[in-house]
Amino acid sequence: MTIYPAIDIKGGRCVRLLQGRADQETIYADNPADVASEFRAAGSGWVHVVDLDGAFAGEPKNLDAVQAIAAIGMKVQLGGGLRTRAAVERALGFGVARVVIGTRAAESESFVGELVQAFGEKVAVGIDAKNGQVAVKGWVATAAMTAIALAKRMDQLGVRTLIHTDIGTDGMLTGPNFAAQEAMLGAGSFRVIASGGVSRREDVVRLAELARRYANLDGVIVGKALYEKRVDLPDLLALGRDQGTKRLKD
């Protein structure tokens, strides 16, 4: 099970938002690349990056910061404002390992299908859910479909990785919505990266246990809990490796 430490970028700085609200911002660092370097030093191979300005504006706004992170040598999973093929190609061109399509996935199946045909597993879809409904445009609007319905449509298009975020728990440090994550895991053959609510080591342990029952639980994104020193990244990475070893034994 892969641990994805998260970096959210707004105005060029590393921040966290409470439930995705732009008016509920905490600044953690002026240089996101410095944070990524710390994650790499702790042993992480991946970093999950969100261009928050891009998510709200509909086009990438912090690509210089993203490029600086990619230059460190980590595998970057990038979301936020990637709503055109040109934006996706630009991100992949400077070293992003996987792009995350959010709003456009809910709006245009043909767009996602084109990207999957062109870039394969470098394309993931982010499904952000509020009370089970898909949220879009930086979480300020709700689409007329359920998260599970969208996931099944993406599965049919050949999308192999979904990032499932429960907005109600994101940034709240109250624990993940395990029931929602389990429902998503059972909805298709795609890999699921769980996001939202991790507040303590026990949350990751419980997700690791869930991964023993669902082989398609790829990993978990951890954000605020890291910045608030509630969890230790090397410890979580070790938990993820242990889960992978147990899967092989099983």
Amino acid of residue 215: A
What is d(CA 127, CA 166) in angstroms, rounded to the nearest whole number?
Answer: 9
Tell me the two tokens of residue 224: 């605020």
Partners of 216 in beta bridges: none
Decide if 90 contacts 139 (C-beta within 8 A).
no
Sign of CA dihedral 91, 63, 223, 33: positive
**Which residues are annotated as catalytic?**
8, 128
Strands 2-10 and 46-51: parallel
d(CA 45, CA 107): 32
Residue 163 to residues 7, 10, 147, 211, 233: CA-CA distances in angstroms? 15, 20, 11, 15, 20
Residue of 154, 163, 140, 216 lying closest to 48 (CA atoms) = 163
Beta strands in the chain (DSSP E): 2-10, 13-18, 21-29, 46-51, 75-79, 98-101, 123-130, 133-136, 141-146, 161-166, 191-195, 217-222
